[in-house]
Structures are given as C-alpha cells and as structure tokens.
Amino acid sequence: MATHPKIVAVGGGKGGVGKSTVSILLAFWFARIGKKTILVDADLGGANLHTFMGIKNPPRTLNDFVMRRYDSLEEICLDTELENLRLIAGASDILSFANIHVSQRVKLIQNLSRLDADYLVIDLGAGTSYNVLDFFLIADKKVVVLIPQPISIQNAYAFIRNTVYRRLSQVVNQKSSLYSLIKTAMDTNNELKLRSINELLQIVEELDGKEAMTVLQEEIRKIQPFVITNMAREKRDKGAGRVIQMVAEKYLMIHPVDMGSIVYDQKLYATVTEMIPLTSLIRSSEAFASVYGMAMTLLRDE
C-alpha cells in the first residue's frame, strides 16, 4: 500500500516572527533522526529558504512546476548538504505563483502527497490569503509561530480564527445561505454582532437544523494548531502561547497545543538577518536545541 508523507505546515500572522527559521529547525531535527524530509518554501512574499540552506541560485523552483516546466514535484526537489533533507525552493516569479487559481492549487496539493518522503515541512510565509490558509488546512500538523509581543499574539490569533472560518466556509460552500452567514461572521465587526463560534453555530442550527450544526462542530474539532513562541528572552515570554490557548478555547471552540518557547539566540538571528546559510551554525545554536522536544511532539503519534 502506498504511503503518503505527513505534512507539517508552519504559518502565523504577519512576517518577522521567524516562521522560516522554525521550519528549518523542525526539518533539520526530522532529518537528523532519520526521517526522509522535504522542506517546502511556499512563502509567496519572499522565498528565501534556499539562501538559508546555502543554495544561492536554485536551478529549479516551485514556480517551474506551477508553470508546467516539470511534471512532478519530485523533479524539482534539490539535495542539501544534510542527509535525509531535500528542498523545494520557493517560486522565483512571485506574481505568477501568488495568483495561482484553484485548479493549480488542487494539483499542487495532490502532488505534495505523492512525494517520496516521510515528512514535508511547509513554510507558508505571512498572511491569510486563501492560498496560505488552504495549505495550512491540509496539514496533518498545523504549527503557528508567534513572538512574545502583543501585536504578534493578536496576529497569531487572527490567523487561527481565519483558518477556522475558512474551513467552515469550505464545508458549506454549496449552501448559499450558510456560506453568506459564515462570510459575514468572519468580519470581527459584523452587523450580526457575532463574537464567537458558539454564537455562529446557534444561528446555523436555527437556519439549517441540528445536523448541519453538528457537522460544523466536527470540522472545528479537527483543527488543533500547535503554537510555538519564538525568540523568548525572559521567563514571562513563555506564556504567550497560553494566551492563544485561552482565547481560542473561549471564542473558537478549539484547543491549541502550547508547544512552549524557542530561546532567543543572538548568533542565529544575526545570521538570519544577514541571509547567511544556517547549515554551519545550526548545530551549535541554543534555538536548535530547544526545538528538539517540539519536533518529537510532532512525531509522537505517527
């Protein structure tokens, strides 16, 4: 029987929280313990994983597949200097990739499941476009990265909230009345003054019955993001993920897993800022060590 790789998607709110770094650290650990791993750069706003992996000019990118220059994603995978770790470099033509339509997105998702790997780690980049949210939703493990600052916590929660509403809109896509209701509820300042998923489900039950409400409840239950607090400098910084947990449980009826924090590593983040390859520094990095437990948690129920 054919097996499919497990997908770990790394997303979040706005940029600058270190999603790419977290993606690399997780992929390094998966590879190091013997899992065939492919790191996928799906950052539409600034593909740069190849630079961090010491590859200046990738000969093949995700854009080559989208534009049908290659028939499979396997053909565009690049070897790295690390055993068990390959890379799919980000799109070289940002505009053409950012505007892929539904059929291209479906094709890309289908081909991801055919890759010869145990794990795919997908760096989704910033934002909450449908491209980003749909790739996040197909993942077996959904990782949200934030830093211990109020605006970042707000952005991370907004990302999770948009993920939940995007999934609900997919489920009711063929029911125009419910679809319109959910689209309205996505606006935090909506005219119906809906503030929580529970309030939304009550209206769904009134409009379409208990069965429809139960279906949506089940879809919500399946969404369980793993929250990582990056760049923690002080003890109090480690509580940022707990804030996300409490707010999401209250308003979204989901139960995020607080994965803890990654310590701020000055050498590592100076390297990232200067776009220097991480491959030589990573093993001596404090941040690299602190991701070990997180990687093991993500592997636990394989």
* Edge-to-edge strands, sheet with 85-88: 78-79, 85-88, 37-41, 119-123, 6-12, 141-146, 226-232, 257-263
pLDDT recorded at residue 94: 53
User: For 6-146+265-297, CATH number?
Assistant: 3.40.50.300
The rounded distance, in Å, linking the Cα atoms of 38 and 278 is: 16
In 3-state terms, what secondary structure has residue 172?
coil
Instruction: Output the CA angle 142-257-149, nearest 5 degrees.
Output: 90
Q: Kindly give the confidence (pLDDT) of every residue in the chain, 302 residues in length, as a single tens digit, with 9 standing for 90 and above.
A: 457 899 999 998 787 898 988 999 999 999 999 999 999 998 765 678 888 888 888 999 888 888 889 999 999 999 998 899 999 998 755 545 556 677 877 888 889 999 999 999 999 977 888 888 999 999 999 999 999 999 999 999 999 999 999 999 999 999 999 999 999 999 989 998 999 999 999 999 999 999 999 999 999 999 999 999 999 999 889 889 999 999 999 999 999 999 999 999 888 877 777 777 777 666 677 888 889 999 999 998 65
Give the pairing type, strands 85-88 and 78-79: antiparallel
Query: What phi and psi values does residue 5 have, to the nearest 5 degrees?
Result: -65, 145
Give the tokens for residue 219.
């879809």
The rounded distance, in Å, linking the Cα atoms of 54 and 272 is: 12
The rounded distance, in Å, linking the Cα atoms of 16 and 12 is: 10
Q: Domain locations in the chain?
A: 6-146+265-297, 149-224+247-254
Give the pairing type, strands 141-146 and 6-12: parallel
Q: Give buried/exposed letters for 47-66 (b at 16+ CB in 10 A, else e).
A: bbbbbbbebeebebbbbbbb
pLDDT recorded at residue 1: 42
Q: Which residues have C-beta within 8 Å of that of residue 129, sequence separation ≥ 6? A: 44, 98
Q: What is the DSSP letter of 75?
A: G
- Kindly give the residue spans of alpha helices, DSSP state H, lying in the chain: 19-32, 49-52, 62-66, 94-98, 102-112, 130-138, 150-171, 176-186, 197-208, 210-221, 240-251, 266-273, 286-290, 292-299
Which helix (H) or strand (E) segment is 12 a member of?
strand 6-12
pLDDT recorded at residue 266: 83
